[in-house]
Amino acid sequence: SAAASVQGVQGAMESLATIAEVFRNASVPQQPQLAEFGLCYVAFVGEHERRYRGERLLQIAAQQASAAAMAHDISLRQCLITDQPERRRPYIQDIIPLLSSADAAPFLSRCDEYTRRFSRPCKLYFGYMAKAIAVARAPYELTLFADTDTFTCTAKPFPAIQRLMKEYDVLTLFPRTTQGWVNSGLMAVRRSATADWAARWLDEFKSLDDFGDQLHLLKVLPYASRGAISAQPLRVGELAAELHLRHGSVADVQGQVWLAPLRGEAMMLHSKGLASVTGIVPRVLSLFRARGDSLSSSQQQLLTRLSTPETALAQRAHGADAPGTRASIHRRGRQLAQVAKEGGRGAAHPPPPYSPRALAAVCLLLNDGVPWSGTRQVVLNSNASCVGCSDLTHSPGGAGVISDPSASAGSSFICEATVGDCGVRPAVWPSSPDQPGLPDWYRSFLLRRGSIPSS
């Protein structure tokens, strides 16, 4: 049974006590629909006593989304789907138990091999598959799933996403790089269309083709969109970078950081790397404070976030366990001691800071001056601005802009509640193993399975 299998793994590196509660190996009651639209997060911990490691990020993300929605008079419900439904989180309206009818045994039997292949604990294996389970438990008819390291710049496109979802069942990002050909860090799903493809997504974790959840989607969504998984073809669309701005790690926070060229306002950032570029905060704060009453409601909200000291933000997120408190210092000491004991590098190289003030500063810079023609590219730790250039002077703490009015001619970016496609388009799948950016294992998968049918 799942409970007996759990007993056999509990002597490993981490506890998986909640697995038998999540995986029922029997039918589970359908999650009632709670609203037409909402934003949802997923948190898997593995045990009830331990605090979710992303708790601070979760609270920052949820509180910022609420504040951004209020700035536009948008009513927003938020949910958390978790194996710790008993924990009180007053900043989340709906707490949903993470439940699956699947059997845990096939996944538990792969724990050792998962750790051997990817040098990651089995708890992360189940943490990644939690989103596949959560999608099938979506509590809103249109649910926007967001990772906890996302940050809402503006909620203005939320009504537009609801309108666009009349034509789609799934919306997600397609970066098309070897680091991530598809990215589900922000994914809109239609609740009534999730059952079949979400179950297939979960099942693909048994293959151990990849350590995470993202690329397993490429073994499911393309075929679901052709009607090969359920009776009705799944309507899948691609999110534009303006709706989901994904940026990777930042190796040098003092060096220049080039953000993606945008045709319009950025809705949501998804980047721990940008959260570490704290050097831009003083200059951006000074720049936007000087504008006073000329700021929009969205800019005012971001300026408020930018003006709030990190200690106050951390106290709101952690309570008595805020960074710098006695509890936090003791907790961090235990973490570093454990990392050192396991031979890791964390003791000498603590993780970079995650600063919501830095993210608010990036949002203000990205969305300053809308609307504009063509594209506008922000370069952090630079100076001045130019049109059509390819380089900017290095200036730590500053920010420059490269404008290209001729870019995207004839395809202006419109994303209003009642008009505009927000850059969303039907998904384009990899057509052959030679497609740029595909990982080697997915090339092998395409060769085994055959190219994705075009119709």
Minimal CA–CA distance to 98: which of 140, 145, 132, 55? Answer: 132
Q: Kind and range of the H or E element at 382?
A: strand 375-383
Do the Cβ atoms of 60 and 92 come closer than 8 Å?
no
Give the list of residues 6+ apart from residue 419 with CB closer than 8 angstroms, or none. none
Instruction: Report the sign of the C-alpha dihedral through residues 430, 433, 438, 440, in that order.
Output: positive
State pTM to two decimals: 0.88
408 DSSP 8-state letter: T
Which token pair is 426? Answer: 């039907």
pLDDT digit of tens for each residue in the chain (455 aa)? 555 444 444 444 457 999 999 999 999 999 999 999 999 999 999 999 999 999 999 999 999 999 999 999 999 999 999 999 999 999 999 999 999 999 999 999 999 999 999 999 999 999 999 999 999 999 999 999 999 999 999 999 999 999 999 999 999 999 887 667 899 999 999 999 999 999 999 999 999 999 999 889 988 999 999 888 988 999 999 999 999 999 999 999 999 999 999 999 999 999 999 999 999 999 999 999 999 889 999 999 999 999 998 765 554 444 434 444 444 444 444 444 444 444 444 445 667 899 999 999 999 999 998 888 899 999 999 988 999 888 899 999 999 999 998 876 556 899 999 999 999 999 998 878 888 778 788 888 888 776 565 54
